[in-house]
Chain A
Amino acid sequence: MAATLCGRLLPKAGWLPLTQSVRHGSKAVTRHRKPVHFLKQKLLAVTEYIPPIPAAPPGALVRRVRKTEEESTLAVLLRKDLETLFKECKMIAVVQNNAINAEDLLQLKHKLKRHNISIKFFPNQVTRSFLNNSIYSNMLPLFVGQTVIFVSKEPKVKEMLQALRRSPQMVLLGACIENTLLSYQGILNYSKLPSMTTIQGELVGGLTMMTSQTVSMLRHHPAHLSALLQQYVKQQGSGDATNAITNKDASTVQEAAA
């Protein structure tokens, strides 16, 4: 230290302090953290970083905008598939899948395949985006949670219900059969409907009921008919109208007898 004090001449360019202490502690660079002079501690405390305070909390000013992500190409492809399905298939049933086994699913698929009903898996995101922009938007509440759709070209509801009876994990939620939305009860009723030919026959029968009844009545023995008419007259009571009716009926009876 003494050597440094009586060292070489002060260089003009540099700057040395006027006083240097004789006592020497540790060097400038130490392995331990040197005790900091109290004044320097105060300086460090005063000159600490103060972050800027935002006028409003960070979440308050930003509008809550829903992130509109671009639809991936896979989603577009799946949507196209869905479109073709809805166009081609008459029956589209939505079923909730409560963790069915692979084995049970295979068996169910096999049963349904026999009647040309196929099971389709689509992500809910894709189905919802498709349904929003189509006429089937009322089916949206069905596609919540783990859902699966059964599609088929022919509406074979009875066979589908029979197959579903064996698998308790699949819960039928609703269906769109021939562009009509049906709930579970509706599907059950639909399955109980007789076939087209029988309905047509019944309709025709219903329409011609009146005429056929009259024909059958006229074909019977006229005594039966006259007895019925007399009974009718008694119920109506007396009057000119009743007389007119009896006259008319008598004439028709005579014609029928002839």
Chain B
Amino acid sequence: MFSVLKSVFLGFVRTSSQPDVLQNNMKVLSAGLRTYEVPPDFSDVVLPEKPKLKFLEKVPNLKQAKKEMKKLRDIQGPAKSATTFTKGQYGIVALGGGYLHWGHMEMMRLTINRRIDPSTTFALWRFRAPHKPITRKGLGQRMGGGKGAIDHYVTPVKCGRLVVEVGGRVELGEVEAVLTEVAKKLPFPAKVVSRESLAALHQEQAERETNNQNPWTFQRVARANMLGIRKVLSPFDVHNHGRYAGKFFYPKRV
């Protein structure tokens, strides 16, 4: 009878001979509570009536088609127009110059129209239908005998121009796959951007310019014509800061 009371009270104090489960040296793994992020609010997004990319004509509707000079300066240098977003959230930006012809446009139109959901997403072109005539001479022709006949039409695209915009009640992850597929097939290097990422790119470039530790910059040397370097530079290099050469773009240059 006393023994019963003894065992009950001493049982608290005495450590058991059997090894306790918690006395081993274990790593503490604390699992947290799963909390979910609030999904984005798309209440202010307006979808247009025709959400898909419209068909672009291969040939412009002209009575008299005039042959045009090559004018490769429409590929050269940075873009002045269509560099920012208008209605959409995500898009493809060109990182080099080039000509888009009807084949590229059809590819873009078909891929994007097939893959987007018209009830939640919309897409729009950021360039004109092909308007610049490209001439070709027939096969095996010798030099001379006048300019060739108009073969096809193209649109020139400069570096930094938005090619296509996508928007609606979607997040980047849903749209990114389609846009990267399309961007790889374009004749110039292109990148999928959103509004925030494009602003971030510009911001990063501005920061690089300000915190550059190199006291010698391309712009400084070219403007002052140090060492007569303008003999080997083009007038465009002076105001492009050496970032553009022909149709190519060097984003790393400051």
Contact = CB atoms under 8 A, between A and B. Distances in A.
Interface of A: 27-30, 33-34, 36-37, 39-40, 43-44, 46-53, 72, 74-75, 78, 96, 123-126, 128, 141-142, 144-145, 171, 173-174, 180, 182-186, 189-190, 192-194, 199, 202, 205-206
A53 B232 CA distance: 33
Contacts of B211: 51-52
B109 interface: no
Given A29-B97, A43-B229, A47-B217, A72 B29 contact: no
B32 A125 contact: yes
A168 B101 CA distance: 71
Contacts of A72: 33, 35
B245 A34 contact: yes
A49 B208 contact: yes
A40 B216 CA distance: 14
Interface stretch (B3-11, B139-147, B195-203): B3-11
Contacts of A29: 72-73, 75-76, 97, 246-247
A185 B11 contact: yes
Nearest to A187: B11
Given A50-B213, A50-B214, A141 B22 contact: yes
Interface of B: 1-2, 4, 7-8, 11-12, 14, 16, 18, 20-22, 26, 28-33, 35, 72-73, 75-76, 97, 208, 211-214, 216-218, 220-222, 227, 229, 231-234, 236, 242, 245-248, 252-254
B229 A183 contact: no
Given A28-B246, A144-B26, A185-B16, A96 B21 contact: yes
A33 to B, nearest CB: 6
A53 B214 CA distance: 12
B12 A186 contact: yes
Given A33-B246, A74-B33, A189-B11, 19 more contacts: A33-B248, A40-B232, A43-B242, A48-B214, A49-B212, A52-B211, A78-B33, A141-B22, A144-B26, A144-B28, A173-B21, A184-B20, A185-B18, A186-B11, A189-B7, A190-B11, A192-B7, A206-B1, A206-B2
Contacts of A144: 22, 26, 28-30
B21 to A, nearest CB: 6
A150 to B, nearest CB: 16
A184 B21 CA distance: 9
A74 B35 contact: yes
Contacts of A28: 72-73, 76, 234, 236, 246
Contacts of B22: 141-142, 144, 173-174
Given A29-B75, A47-B217, A75 B33 contact: yes
Given A28-B234, A51-B213, A193 B229 contact: no
Contacts of A128: 30
B214 A47 contact: yes
A190 B32 CA distance: 34
Contacts of B208: 49
Contacts of B97: 29
Given A40-B233, A43-B218, A189-B8, A123 B32 contact: yes
A49 B246 contact: no
Nearest to A47: B218
Contacts of A182: 12
A40 B254 contact: no
Given A29-B246, A189-B11, A193-B8, A37 B232 contact: yes
A182 B75 CA distance: 81
Q: Which 3 A-B pairs have the closest CB atoms?
A: A29-B72, A189-B11, A185-B16
A33 B248 CA distance: 8
Contacts of A48: 214, 254
